[in-house]
Amino acid sequence: MALLGYARVSTNHQKLELQVAELKKVGVRDDRIFTDMMTGATDKREGLQRLLNRAEKDDIIICTKMDRLGRNTADMIHIVDACYKKGIAIRFLENGLSTEGTMGKMIIQILAAVAEAERARILERTNDGRVAAMAAGIKFGRKPHPKREIAFALIKQGVSSRIVKENTGISHATYFRLKKQINGMKQDKIKRKPIFIDNKYQMDIEDFTDKLS
């Protein structure tokens, strides 16, 4: 088993050395750290390709953050899943998530759920015009925290509160806020479910209830 590291920067404002230092701090040797520096439209990721060619079964690839491994969430999950199928684990220092051991498959499912949530958010923003507004420099709230997104996905899948809190580090209060939010979404979905009568008339469930009273 070998510890391998991967670091990537995509802008001139980011420091590759900071990521490398974090990898060394957890025991990754200099000769086992692979790096990529994106410039302009160039995104060959030769360092990543060398890393994936070098990695063998039972090795562990360490990254400082999830967004350093892939171009986007879907790309990152594709890499994680491909490595998992080869017996290669991936560990992220920022949030402590790892595909090592018996929890590995569940972690991949969590990441997939997060990716689905991300796609849904993008679609929603496109539909309501937020993408255009953001391009004009308008900001909408603060960026969602990765741990909260993961916790949200876990709770939505029905994972117990103990496992959610142990794997994400969220507080008891945050867990119940997310739980309440999810329950509210479910209730709203049930409340707004359309009812069809004789296949001709469609009405909101609230209106239908009023007509029966």
Q: Which residues are catalytic?
A: 10
Rounded CA separation 209/213 (Å):
6
Chain centre distance of CA 132? 24
